[in-house]
Amino acid sequence: MPLGNGRLGMTPDGGISKEKIVLNDITLWSGGPQDANNYEAYKSLPKIRELILQGKNDEAQDLVNKDFVCKGLGSGGEKWGKYQVLGNLEIDFNYGNLKPDEITPEAYHRELSLDKAIANCSYKVDGVNYRREYFTSFSGDIDVIKITADKPGKLNCKISISRSEKSVVKTEGTELQMYGQLDNGTDGKGMQYQARVNTKLKGERLQ
């Protein structure tokens, strides 16, 4: 269920034992300033025009694909660089003495309210009702996940954040941070980024 505020986005999968939430930031792009122009491309233009006039459109297209391409180094195998996923936020849930293969959720339900721009996931495990709500704030420019249980002491989870490359994760006080620098296709010093995870607890303990 994708959610976003125009810049930040998240896609929760609604997992019971482990939830994986894909995080996005529209500005996260590899690559960098470069002259990617192909200054030899114009030499093929007369032949391309000739093929089109002869009705040989496939041959003309093949020539366009061969010669009308940029020459920049880009990054990630793409000439112009490419959009990058920010990373994954994972929440591992602990349901007491229950092992993962023993967890049998009841009344599992997921919903996306388009008019309220809120997604939710609810279910019952071992007599406890759990609920998660997800939304993104335009004014605060944050992704928000609210997790609740209807019995005290039954909400136990571990939160982690990661991405597959060019990332460092650390804790700063009670804040979880992930940061790094993307490739730019030339000297490796592309866009820098940082993602921060904060928790707000009510009647619980953070460790």
Q: How many CA atoms lie within 13 A of 112 on its CB side?
A: 10
Residue 139 in this model has a pLDDT that exceeds 70: yes
pLDDT of res. 98:
84
- The helix or strand, by DSSP H or E, that contains position 137, with its residue range, turns out to be strand 128-137
Tell me how far apart the alpha carbons of residues 122 and 148 are, in angstroms, rounded to a whole number. 10
Q: Which residues contact 12 (CB under 8 A, 6 or more apart)?
A: 1, 3, 19, 20, 21, 119, 121, 132, 134, 145
Q: Which of 154, 153, 176, 143 is nearest to 168 (CA)?
A: 176
| DSSP tag of 14 | -
Cα→Cα distances 160→14, 43, 128, 141, Å: 16, 53, 24, 20
Residue 97 in this model has a pLDDT that exceeds 90: no
Two tokens, residue 52: 């089109």
Tell me how far apart the alpha carbons of residues 81 and 28 are, in angstroms, rounded to a whole number. 11
Q: Which residues contact 87 (CB under 8 A, 6 or more apart)?
A: 23, 161, 162, 163, 167, 178, 195
Tell me how far apart the alpha carbons of residues 146 and 11 are, in angstroms, rounded to a whole number. 15
Tell me how far apart the alpha carbons of residues 11 and 136 are, in angstroms, rounded to a whole number. 11
Q: Which residues contact 56 (CB under 8 A, 6 or more apart)?
A: none
Mean pLDDT within 6-23: 94
Least confident of 8-12, 96-100, 104-108, 111-115: 96-100
Tens of pLDDT, residues 35-65: 878 899 999 999 999 999 999 999 999 999 9
Tell me how far apart the alpha carbons of residues 138 and 177 are, in angstroms, rounded to a whole number. 21
pLDDT of res. 151:
92
Q: Select the more confidently predicted residue: 121 or 203.
A: 121
Tens of pLDDT, residues 164-175: 889 999 999 989
Tens of pLDDT, residues 180-201: 999 888 888 889 999 999 998 8
Residue 67 in this model has a pLDDT that exceeds 70: yes
Residue 207 in this model has a pLDDT that exceeds 70: no
Q: Which residues contact 166 (CB under 8 A, 6 or more apart)?
A: 180, 181, 182, 183
Q: Select the more confidently predicted residue: 80 or 177.
A: 177
